[in-house]
């Protein structure tokens, strides 16, 4: 995708949705971290359903620890990999209390020391909670970036690095959400809805198939 097309691509997405938001429900940075940690290989809908009751009784690291493993698992058992996620979340809560006074750290390096928190999760927290221009490359962004020609790469890290280089600075803070929403609802894996896509005219995939 040419740089002029990239500019038009994001200008169009911005016009359609000026203030894109995560679809995870949260009311604090800790709740966001929890929701993102639980969302690995799970849908936002399933995570929101579980956290709707979980956050009523455990919305801080200490309250989460007070639940204990059995209590926490009872709230998140509808989410995939809930056994390991529960262990990681409780370990993370203990670290937050022991080393960060119960607060979520604001650097990628510190976030990635937390159990169950990888680069993608850290980037989501940095972007959504702290407004950092990070790019959390999930399956949707990886597909959209490669399919459209926006930022091709063989790994999520390659795509992330290329996106950070190619997305115009004024769009970087919201680019992560625009691309996720595009991939989730329009540029789907098996049947992309090109006829409904606002940025089809700037997409290499569409131009190759018309």
Catalytic residue IDs: 120, 138
Distance CA 48, CA 53 (A): 9
């Amino acid at each position: 995708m040419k740089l002029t097309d990239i500019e038009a691509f994001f200008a169009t997405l911005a016009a359609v949705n000026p203030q894109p938001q995560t679809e995870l429900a949260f009311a604090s940075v800790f709740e966001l971290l929890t929701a993102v940690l639980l969302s690995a290989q799970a849908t936002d809908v399933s995570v929101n359903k579980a956290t709707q009751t979980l956050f009523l009784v455990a919305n801080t690291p200490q309250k989460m620890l007070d639940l204990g493993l059995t209590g926490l698992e009872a709230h998140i058992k509808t989410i995939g990999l809930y056994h390991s996620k529960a262990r990681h979340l409780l370990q993370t809560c203990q670290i937050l209390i022991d080393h960060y006074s119960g607060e979520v750290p604001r650097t990628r390096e510190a976030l990635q020391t937390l159990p169950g928190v990888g680069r993608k999760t850290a980037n989501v927290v940095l972007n959504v909670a702290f407004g950092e221009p990070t790019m959390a490359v999930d399956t949707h962004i990886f597909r959209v970036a490669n399919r459209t020609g926006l930022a091709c790469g063989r790994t999520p890290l390659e795509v992330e690095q290329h996106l950070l280089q190619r997305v115009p600075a004024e769009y970087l803070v919201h680019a992560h959400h625009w691309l996720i929403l595009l991939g989730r609802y329009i540029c789907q894996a098996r049947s992309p809805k090109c006829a409904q896509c606002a940025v089809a005219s700037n997409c290499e995939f569409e131009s190759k198939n018309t």
